[in-house]
Chains A and B, each alone.
Chain A
């Protein structure tokens, strides 16, 4: 974390996007952007790497599918063989159509829940966690750019942010 940061507040996501572009042109280093809702294209402008959550979701889905197959095979075929719709074949494959809904549901269940948990862990979110955003209005109607202010002067940054349409500019020493 930079020793000194600037917080510039904006009222509109389009204005914010233009400001981020202006920062890129000036080669200012953006630490973080706080927005009340996901802003499309912001991640690409900030140069954030593509999320790998989708790969996790796929693997979690595979785990869910495996759990479902193993579970249904144990419960319905091996441990206490069940007569499924008058087809007591004692074979997983021949009774498989009956298990497809369960296989599907558990695939979705595992993918969804584990993905959410992964997302929380990756974002360092947990119960009773103290909020990191500089101003609670960034969860309501304000957009905030947090900029590394150690390389440029306060006056230079203030006039720069004013020009990009910021409504409020603060500096903070860490």
Chain B
């Protein structure tokens, strides 16, 4: 079987160890009381970093139109952590001691959420990559694609992370459900008791049903993954009559139908319910676009890496070219959905909807607009050139930029509702990414060592070998 160099074996262990240490520090340095928060805030206001952040908030509040929207928001999400720093400091001052106390409590909750949210974002991000690859893989079968069979083992190896990644996400959701952390505000009975909108949604948003649904989605996806791999291996062993290939085709078709419904509900549950008052009808598609482009990018990165190590000899630069075309195309598709969601809400300007973007634009200005540069403008301009799509180092460069961009995309979906204005990309966030990156590489490359990297029984194998764009 394939053996990889020691670097690729040691790297994930180092990444996971670093990540664990960083996350442990992140959790232990989260403040435990209001007094600690006061100290943190005081030190931040003296430091240059905090200063810039605070003034930014003040400036944006000067605009009267935005102020209105903010008042709405504060009303709806009181216990939630969406009020911004500057607000209570600036407008209330020393005269309202109670408000100050409340604000500190608020920041305390946000800072306590921060390491959990960082963990959740990274866990979901790497899980979503393997899920995106699974969908891409299923589409290859459903479409009876002739170009891609040479890449099937790579895709199958990346989906190996689906089970461990899914279990980790499920455990995190369960921990929220048992109130170990407070990421999901609707799980807090105190909040629901004072919130009529949430009371109306308890039929869907209640912890037992939430966890049952999560278990159902994960089971469905992993069952497909199990059989897809099994059929694919069987097809190699007994290719006559393409019996197993036909089974793969049917399984893929069924999975794709199940997936698009379950993925949509998953995105409402696992992401949209962080802002339980807000809703968007194309959110499922939007999250799907993010996972799809991230998944395809990782296929391209792993393929380029394996080729550079001398594996996948039959994969030619037309295959790489096609993956890059998908990276290019789905990046635009993501932007289309991101903008469609934004424009309708921006245009109608309904307070309960628009608060979602007001908060992101005011408090998350750099990540919110920065991700458009990373996810659209950079891949668009670089991958537009046909020749660039087959140059390995350009694929790696653009791939990394796209992955960073989509991490920030998930960051923007989760953080505003969980840590509000107290966000930063610091030790907890980076360590969580390192940890899951290490785990991801570990699982994927372990799966790659388990079998031949080139399928032998696929009926489209010859076409794939001669694939020429």
Give chain A's interface residues, CB within 8 Å of chain B: 40-41, 54, 58, 84-87, 97-98, 100-101
Q: Which residue of B lies closest to A54 (CB)?
A: B386
B322-345 interface bits toward A, Cβ cutoff 8 Å, 1 = contact, 0 = none: 000000000000000001001100
**B51 contacts partner chain A, Cβ-Cβ < 8 Å:** no
- Assembled-state Cα–Cα distance A127/B347 (Å): 46
Say yes or no: A85 contacts B384, CB within 8 Å. no
Contacts of B349 in A (CB 8 A): 85-87
8 more A-B residue pairs beyond the given contacts A40-B468, A54-B385, A100-B343, with a C-beta to C-beta distance below 8 A: A41-B468, A54-B386, A58-B384, A85-B349, A86-B349, A97-B343, A98-B343, A100-B339
Nearest CB of A to B280, in Å: 16
Chain A contacts for B343, CB-based, 8 A: 97-98, 100-101
B348 at the interface (CB under 8 A from A): yes
A60 to chain B, nearest CB (A): 13
- When distances are taken between beta carbons in the complex, the residues of chain A under 8 Å from B347 are 84-85, 97-98
Contacts of A85 in B (CB 8 A): 346-349
* Pairs across A and B, CB under 8 Å, 14 listed: A41-B468, A54-B386, A58-B384, A85-B346, A85-B348, A97-B339, A97-B342, A97-B343, A97-B346, A97-B347, A98-B347, A100-B339, A100-B343, A101-B343
Q: Which residue of B lies closest to A51 (CB)?
A: B386
Residues of B with C-beta under 8 A to A58: 384
B342 / chain A contacts, CB cutoff of 8 Å: 97
- Closest residue on chain B to residue A61 by CB atoms: B384
In the complex, chain B residues whose CB is within 8 Å of the CB of A40: 468
- Interchain nearest-CB distance for A40 vs B (Å): 7
- A100–B384 Cα distance when bound, in Å, is 20
Q: 3 tightest A-B contacts by CB?
A: A85-B347, A97-B343, A97-B346
List the B side residues contacting A87 at CB < 8 Å: 349
Instruction: Give the distance in Å from the alpha carbon of A13 to the alpha carbon of B152 in the complex.
Output: 30
For the complex formed, measure the closest distance between the CB of B319 and the CB atoms of chain A, giving whole angstroms: 15
- B469 — nearest CB in chain A belongs to which residue? A40
User: How large, as a class, is the contact surface on chain B?
Assistant: 10 to 19
Chain A residue contacts of B384, Cβ below 8 A:
58
Kindly provide the distance from the CB of B112 to the nearest chain A CB, expressed in whole angstroms: 36
Shortest CB distance A87–B (Å): 7
Closest to A40 in B: B468
Residues of A within 8 A of B468 (CB): 40-41
Query: How far is the CB of B363 from the nearest CB of chain A, in Å?
Result: 19
- Of the listed residues B347, B348, B385, B468, the one surrounded by the most CB atoms of chain A closer than 10 A to its CB is B347
Provide the residues of chain B in CB contact with A54, threshold 8 Å: 385-386
Residues of chain B within 8 A (CB-CB) of A101 are: 343
Docked CA distance A87–B65 (Å): 9
- Expressed in whole angstroms, the Cα–Cα distance for A97 and B343 within the complex equals 6
Residue of A nearest to B339 (CB): A100
Task: For the complex, give the distance between the alpha carbons of A97 and B347 in Å.
Answer: 8
Contacts of B346 in A (CB 8 A): 85, 97
- Chain A residues with Cβ below 8 Å from B385 are 54
How many whole Å from A38's CB to the nearest CB in chain B? 13
List, in ascending order, chain B residues with CB within 8 A of A41's CB. 468
Q: How far is the CB of A43 from chain B (nearest CB, A)?
A: 12
In the bound assembly, the distance between CA atoms of A85 and B354 in angstroms comes to 13
A86 to B349, CA, bound (A): 8
Which residues of chain B are within 8 angstroms of A84 by Cβ–Cβ distance?
347
- Whole-angstrom distance from the CB of A25 to the nearest CB of chain B? 20
Nearest B residue to A86, CB-CB: B349
CB neighbours (8 Å) of B348 from chain A are 85
B residues less than 8 Å from A86 (CB atoms): 349
Kindly state the separation between the CA atoms of A40 and B339 in the bound complex, as whole angstroms: 37
Closest A residue by C-beta to B381: A58
Minimum distance in angstroms from B436 CB to a CB of chain A: 34
In the assembled complex, the Cα of A87 lies from the Cα of B64 at a distance in Å of 12
Instruction: Output the least CB separation between B330 and chain A (Å).
Output: 17
Type the 1/0 row for B449-469, where 1 means its CB is closer than 8 Å to any CB of A: 000000000000000000010
**B418 → A minimal CB distance (Å):** 27
Give A98 to B349 CA distance when docked, in angstroms. 13
The docked-state distance in angstroms from the alpha carbon of A40 to that of B466 is 12
Q: How far is the CB of B229 from chain A (nearest CB, A)?
A: 33
A168 → chain B closest CB, angstroms: 29
Complex CA–CA separation, A56 to B468 (angstroms):
25
A85 to B346, CA, bound (A): 9
Q: Which positions 371-387 of chain B face chain A at CB distance < 8 Å?
A: 384-386
A40 to B385, CA, bound (A): 19
Bound state CA distance, A84 and B349, in angstroms?
A: 11
Complex alpha-carbon distance, A5 and B339, angstroms: 57
Near A by CB (< 8 A), chain B positions 347-370 give: 347-349
Cα A58 to Cα B468 in complex, Å, equals 25
CA distance A143 to B254 in the complex (A): 43
Residue of A nearest to B345 (CB): A97
Chain A nearest CB from B332 CB (Å) reads 10
Shortest distance from the beta carbon of A17 to any chain B beta carbon, whole Å = 11
The complex places the Cα of A58 from the Cα of B383 at a distance, in Å, of: 13
Shortest CB distance B358–A (Å): 13
Complex Cα–Cα for A86 and B386 (A): 43
The smallest C-beta distance from B329 to any residue of chain A, in angstroms, reads 15
Q: How far is the CB of A16 from chain B (nearest CB, A)?
A: 16
Closest chain B residue to A101 by CB distance? Answer: B343
- Residues in B with CB closer than 8 Å to A100 are 339, 343
How far, in angstroms, from A54 to B385 measured CA to CA in the complex?
8
The distance from the CB of A14 to the nearest CB of chain B, in whole angstroms, is 12
Nearest-neighbor residue (CB-CB) of B385 within chain A: A54
Q: Which residue of A has the minimal Cβ distance to B347?
A: A85
Against A, the Cβ 8 Å flags (1 = close, 0 = not) of B109-139 are: 0000000000000000000000000000000
What separation, in Å, do the CA atoms of A40 and B346 have in the docked complex?
46
Shortest beta-carbon distance from B51 to chain A in Å: 27
* Cα–Cα distance between A86 and B385 once the two chains are bound (Å): 41
A45 to chain B, nearest CB (A): 12
B234 to chain A: closest CB distance in Å? 33
